[in-house]
Amino acid sequence: MFQDRLQALLVPALQAAFSELFNHALDARSVGFQATRPEFEGDVTINVFPFLKQSGKGPEQTAQAIGEHLKAKVPIVERFNVMKGFLNIVIADSYWFGFLQEAATQDILEFPPTGKRVMVEYASPNTNKPLHLGHLRNIFLGYSVSRILKSAGHEVIKVQVINDRGIHICKSMLAWQKFGKGETPDSAGVKGDKLVGKYYVEFDKAYKAEIEALVIGGRSKEDAEKEAPIMLEAQEMLLKWEANDPDVRTLWEKMNGWVYEGFEATYKRAGVDFDKNYYESQTYVLGKNDVLEGLKKGVFYEKDGAVWVDNTKEGLDEKVLLRRDGTSVYMTQDIGTAIKRFEEYPGLSKLIYTVGNEQDYHFKVLFIILKKLGFAWADELFHLSYGMVDLPTGKMKSREGTVVDADDLIEEVVSEARKTGEQLSKLDDISEAEKAELFETIGLAALKYYLLKVDPKKRMLFDPAASIDLQGHTGPFIQYTYARINSLLRKAGTMAQWMHDPKSAWPLLPEERAVIKLLHQFPTVLDEAATKLEPSAIANHSYELVKAYNSFYQAIPVMKEEDAAKREFRIALSATVASVTRKAMWCLGIEVPERM
Q: How far is CA 478 from CA 107, 116, 468, 549, in A?
A: 21, 32, 11, 10
Q: What is the pLDDT of residue 494?
A: 59
Of the candidates 439, 416, 400, 505, the one whose C-alpha atom is nearest the C-alpha of residue 269 is: 439
**Closest to 457 measured CA to CA, from 352, 334, 354, 316:** 354
Long-range contacts formed by 16-24: CB under 8 A, 24+ apart: 16/69, 16/73, 17/65, 17/66, 17/69, 17/70, 17/73, 18/51, 18/54, 18/66, 20/69, 21/55, 21/65, 21/66, 21/69, 22/51, 22/54, 22/55, 22/56, 24/54, 24/55
pLDDT greater than 50 at residue 414: yes
Any idea where the domains of the chain sit in the sequence? 2-91, 166-280, 412-587
Query: What are the tens digits of pLDDT across the range 249-273?
Result: 999 999 999 999 999 999 999 999 9
H or E segment and range at residue 180 = none
The answer, yes or no, to whether residue 511 has pLDDT greater than 50, is yes
**How many CB atoms sit inside 10 A of residue 211's CB?**
20
Residue 530, pLDDT score: 96
Least confident of 295-304, 348-357, 427-436: 427-436
Residue type, 371: K
- pLDDT of 12-31, one tens digit each? 999 999 999 999 999 888 88
Residue 381: strand pairing partners: 351
User: Which residue has better confidence, 430 or 210?
Assistant: 210
Nearest to 168 by CA among 191, 199, 192: 199
Statement: residue 2 has pLDDT above 50: no
The dotted CATH code for 412-587 is 1.10.730.10
- The percent of residues in the chain predicted with pLDDT above 70, rounded, is 96
In total, the chain counts a number of residues equal to 596
Residue 512 has pLDDT above 60, yes or no: yes
- The pLDDT of residue 395 is above 60: no
Whether residue 394 has pLDDT greater than 80: no
Give the pLDDT band of residue 495 (cuts 50, 70, 90). Answer: low
- Name which residue leads in pLDDT, 368 or 462: 368
The confidence score (pLDDT) of residue 4 equals 66
Which has more confidence, 167 or 398?
167
Residue 109 is predicted with a pLDDT of 76
CA–CA distance, 98 with 107 (Å, rounded to integer): 14
Residue 479 is predicted with a pLDDT of 97
Closest CA to 230 of 281, 164, 163, 172: 172
pLDDT tens digits, residue range 222-239? 999 999 999 999 999 999
Contact between residue 107 and residue 144 where contact means Cβ atoms under 8 Å apart: no
CA distances for 119 relative to 149, 330, 533, angstroms:
10, 20, 13
pLDDT at 396: 42
Residue 531 to residue 127: CA distance in whole angstroms: 33
pLDDT of residue 510: 94
What backbone torsions phi and psi does residue 183 show, to the nearest 5 degrees?
-60, 140
Q: Alpha-carbon distance 237 to 239, whole Å?
A: 5
What mean pLDDT comes out for the span 318-342? 95
The pLDDT mean for the chain works out to 92
Top CATH class of 2-91 equals: alpha beta
Confidence of residue 401 (pLDDT cuts 50, 70, 90): very low
What is the sign, positive or negative, of the torsion defined by CA atoms of 64, 69, 71, 74?
negative
> Which stretch, 237-241, 471-475, 491-495, has highest mean pLDDT?
237-241
Cα separation of 136 and 143, whole Å? 10
Residue 220 has pLDDT above 60, yes or no: yes
Q: pTM higher than 0.85, yes or no?
A: yes
What confidence tens digit (pLDDT) does each residue in 195-205 have?
999 999 999 99
